[in-house]
Structure 1
Amino acid sequence: MGTGRLTRWCVGLAASAFALLPSLAPAQQPMLQPGTNTPMLTPSITSPSLPPSLPAAEPDAQLSLSAILSGAGTPLRDGLAWRIFDDRGEGTRPTIVARSTEAEPRFTLPPGAYVATVTYGFASSAKRIVLGGQASSDTLRIAAGALRLSGAVGDTKIPQDQVTFSVFVPVGTNSEGRLVRSAIRAGEVLRLPEGTYHVVSIYGESNAIQRADLKVENGKVTEATLNHRAATVTLKLVASPGAEAFAGTAFSVLTPGGDTIREAIGAFPQVTLAEGDYVLIARHDGQVFTREFKVESGLDRDIEVLAKSEPKPEAAPAN
């Protein structure tokens, strides 16, 4: 075979081999997602598809708070209780995330929405605060005043340990509709929202009671003295005026109508009573003795019951 003819034969054979290559290669089928006809996406070798990077989380921020009285604008320096609640929207119960009793607290919190509350005695205020990644400060206004109470008989102040007060919020026609607080001591400062309150003062432990309606104004301390018409009497059972009192005597103080006001046991118990008329019953060694007496306002004194034996009936003459 000549050289030219051999060359042409080799070139033709190579062309035929290249033409057969596509038919010889296995058909490339796309990979499907399991259970579907949806092709799975495969990343390109030359330009891989990577997940997007997440944004960096914002840092915690500092929240500074303070409280002032409405109207007067007086800063409050003590008696405060702060609470911070997370605000998750309606229908979700908020939870407390921070507390403080400082006058101007500082809280470090993650970004988000919060509700800040502050109480001052029985008054309070709340505010919604949204924190970003930077420091924030806010001031809450509290509409409040205060009551300071005392008692007296005439011009004489009643000792603090002998008088107590109860404060009520009137509801409708009921002056004692809702109890705010009881057992308040004289001189104690009671912080309250502005408004009108009904005050009941009890001198001693019996029926010496006075009432008054008092108004609390914003930013002011309302001072009031409730004047009692009463006195303290010392009860005694004696054999004769001025004699030694019998120990272990049981006393009952009644109104003229028979209602019991106070009961006490001892040689000389003290009872504080509103002015008026009373009946005193003394029981000792199975015997009962009585006396009527009168209480005059501001006149403290002893009330003595004489232990008089009933005269024995004379024996009938013998026949």
Structure 2
Amino acid sequence: MTMFKRAMLGAIAALGLAFPALSAERAIIVLDGSGSMWAQIDGKARITIARETLASVLADLPDDLELGFMTYGHRKKGDCGDIEMLVEPAVGTGAAIAKAADSINPKGMTPISDAVKLAAEDLRYTEEKATVILITDGLETCEVDPCQLASELEKQGVDFTTHVLGFGLSDEEGQQVACLAENTGGQYLSAADGAGLVDALTKTVAQVVQAEPKPEPEPAPKPEPAPKVEYNFAPTASLSEGGPDIEDGGPLNLTWQWFKVNPDGTKGEWIDTDYYARFKGTLEPGDYIVTVEYGYATAEQPVTIVADKVNDTHFILNAAVFKLHPKSSEGAEVNENASIGIRHNSENVTTQYGDKVLVLPAGKLDFDVTIGEATVTRSYTVKAGETIDEDVIVGTGLVFFKAEYAPGVKVEDNDLYMEIFDAKVALDGTRSSIAYGYDGEQDFELAPGDYVMDYKLDGTTGQIPFSVATGERTDIPVVLDAGVLAVTTPSDDYVEFRSPTKDIAGNITSFDYGYGPNVQTTLKAGDYIVFSEKGDVESETPVTIKAGERFELTITPPKAGGKKK
């Protein structure tokens, strides 16, 4: 059993969760499917942890709970409208939700507010009691104020509640989305890892089904001596030895945790967690191991607490600050969709997105900064206490393809496949594939250079060479010089679209095929033979395809004595 599964089982057991068959309401879980969900926690992608959490917590739901599942940012990059209901609210949907979560491939934006609004509307929140449970690892990226939306939903709803589970969010980030919960009477719960996410989701689902909490046993009374000091633990931390103490107010906060000490002196059971540089607490007298985290830098020390004395142990994080601003070209705005893969001493640390302030261990650090399909690597060897603040110019240009059957006749078929290759040809005659996509209009951010775009739509293929320059947009028309051929057959006849003549080797070219009664394809303008076969009866019909036009052909059943094999 993995450590994560043990953590999930332990969290559920600790909660003592039992779902009673009480009057449950309708609810929808909204899971973040944006690109940042590929970031890792303890070597495992956040989306993987979320999938495992949903499968575990939703394995046993009450019979009358109607639960749905929605996600966003999982189909397209840069599309704030990429929101999809994967499982409609219904009873017994736990397995369906777990299966749907497994199919999510994070890649896009974070339209939190619009997703919550759509979920509320699907639940008929103005007519019935409804709850939305949002699981997100990022902030709103689609220019909608989540706080204002929450207030509007609360005013209009009969009894509408949003619970927000901040997965891997800092305290400051959590405060920016907590209003979604607070303004609707819900809860904001923070989860730093898989076990924390299990705990948070279990609690919110329990509230939806109105689980009766088990009574807490009355603690045994024990005398509490009046403290002679207001607090007895006031730690401080700095990035480097002799450097200034870290203060609150920046984009990151310190996280303090203290643990019991095992008999062999190693770190034992976790006791508690607190935050901020100004933290001052009261601990029971005794020995502890205390850790402090600041971004991705950590420090650990043994601490002894003595009654009526203040312990002010100082921690040195041995860390540096990075403020890297990814841009596609000189003078461009910061690209918030840029990914930054970080390695410390050649080991992967994390992947971040956009313009971030990062605190990282001092030493050798490599940053792979990617915008679109282009990547540059920046390497640094930094000392503790240093700050690196600079732009990272990836150097990309934008190429935009717009396909037409003929000039003025737009291709709206999302089956049009485009693949970008490096123009250079290897010794074996192949080219390196750079990117691909499906649609009549597509754009790619690419490094400057020469490329070839291959396209295919049914029986139509072609190739367009092009070049990309840094900081420039290149618009390329893709004129297929093709039309659409629609064939209707008596039944499930085999239909093949062939050349009317043989090539120099004596072969007939096949462009596409399908099965009736309705077959449709796209072909270059010109003459073709439509070959049809059913059992031992064959037919051949010549057709002429014109660019930008649709040709419809009906193949009638052959008369008695018709052409046979």
| TM-score (norm. length: structure 2) | 0.40
1:185 counterpart residue number:
353
CA separation of 1:89 and 1:58: change in aligned 2, threshold 3 A: farther
Task: Compare 281-290 and 75-84 and name the one that shifted more.
Answer: 281-290
Q: What secondary structure sits across from 1:190 in the alignment?
A: strand
Output the CA distance in 1 between the equivalents of 2:435 and 2:353. 22
Which residue number corresponds to residue 217 of structure 1? Answer: 383
Partner SS, residue 370 of structure 2: strand
Go from structure 1 to structure 2 and tell me whether the alpha carbon gap of 1:246 and 1:95 turns closer, same or farther (over 3 Å shift).
same
Do 1:151 and 1:157's aligned partners in 2 also have CA atoms closer than 8 Å?
no
The structure-2 alpha-carbon separation of the partners of 1:92 and 1:240, relative to structure 1 and needing over 3 Å to count, comes to closer
Please show how residues 168-317 of structure 1 align to structure 2 within 5 Å.
168-170=343-345, 177-182=346-351, 184-204=352-372, 206=373, 208-239=374-405, 243-248=408-413, 249-256=416-423, 257=425, 258-308=431-481, 309=524, 311-312=526-527
Cα pair 1:88 1:113 within 8 Å, conserved:
no
Deviation at 1:150, TM superposition (A): 1.7
Please, what is the CA RMSD of the aligned residues?
A: 2.8
Over the matched positions of the two proteins, sequence identity in percent amounts to 21
Equivalences, count? 248
1:90 is aligned to 2:255: no
Match of 1:69 in 2: 239
Cα shift at 1:88: 4.1
| 8 Å contact kept, 2:267–2:289 | no
Alignment of 1:122-137 (within 5 A): 122-137=296-311
| Structure 1 SS opposite 2:336 | helix
Deviations 1:105-160 (A, max 9, x none): 33333332222221111112222222333222212222222111122344232542
Deviation at 1:280, TM superposition (A): 1.4
Asked if 2 retains the 8 angstrom alpha-carbon contact of 1:289 and 1:305, the reply is no
The alpha-carbon distance between structure 1 residues 93 and 117, as it changes in their structure 2 partners (threshold 3 A), is closer
Pair 224,215 (structure 1): closer, same or farther in 2 beyond 3 Å: farther
Q: Provide closer, same or farther for how the CA distance between residues 65 and 157 of structure 1 changes in structure 2, counting only shifts above 3 A.
A: same
* One-letter amino acid of the counterpart of residue 67, structure 1: A
Structure number having the greater helix percentage: 2
Distance 1:187 1:288, change over 3 A: same
Write the distance in 2 (CA, Å) between the matches of 1:84 and 1:229.
Answer: 46
Q: Deviations over 1:212-231 (max 9, x none)?
A: 10233332321232222321
Residue 196 of structure 1: how far off its partner (Å): 2.1
Shift of 1:195: 1.6
Query: How far 1:274 moved relative to its partner?
Result: 1.4
Tell me by how many angstroms 1:189 deviates: 0.5
Query: Considering only CA atoms, is the larger Rg found in Structure 1 or Structure 2?
Result: 1
TM-score by length of 1: 0.69
Query: Which blocks of at least 5 consecutive residues in structure 2 are unaligned?
Result: 1-223, 426-430, 482-523, 529-541, 543-565
Q: Distance in 1 between matches of 2:245 and 2:409?
A: 61
Q: Secondary structure at the match of 2:307?
A: coil
From 115, 121, 144, give the equivalent of 2:319: 144
Cα 1:240–1:126 change in 2 (3 A) is same
Q: Secondary structure at the match of 1:94?
A: strand
Change (3 A) 1:210 1:69: closer
Quick one: distance in 2 between partners of 1:109 and 1:72? 27
| SS of aligned partner of 2:263 | coil
Summarize the Cα distance change of 1:227–1:132 in structure 2 as closer, same or farther, 3 Å threshold. Answer: closer
Following superposition, the deviation at residue 312 of structure 1 comes to 4.5
Q: Which structure 1 segments of 5+ residues have no match?
A: 1-56, 171-176
Provide the C-alpha distance between the structure 2 equivalents of 1:178 and 1:76, rounded to a whole number of angstroms. Answer: 27
CA distance in 2, matches of 1:272, 1:109: 54
How far did 1:201 drift?
0.9
Taking structure 1 as reference, are residues 132 and 154 closer, same or farther at Cα in structure 2, changes over 3 Å only? Answer: closer
CA change 1:96–1:154 in 2 (3 A) is closer
CA gap 1:94/1:281 in 2 versus in 1, 3 angstroms = same
Distance 1:121 1:245, change over 3 A: same
Structure 2 counterpart of 1:223, which letter?
A: D
The amino acid of 1:195's aligned partner reads: G
**In structure 1, C-alpha distance between the alignment counterparts of 2:420 and 2:525, rounded to whole Å:** 22
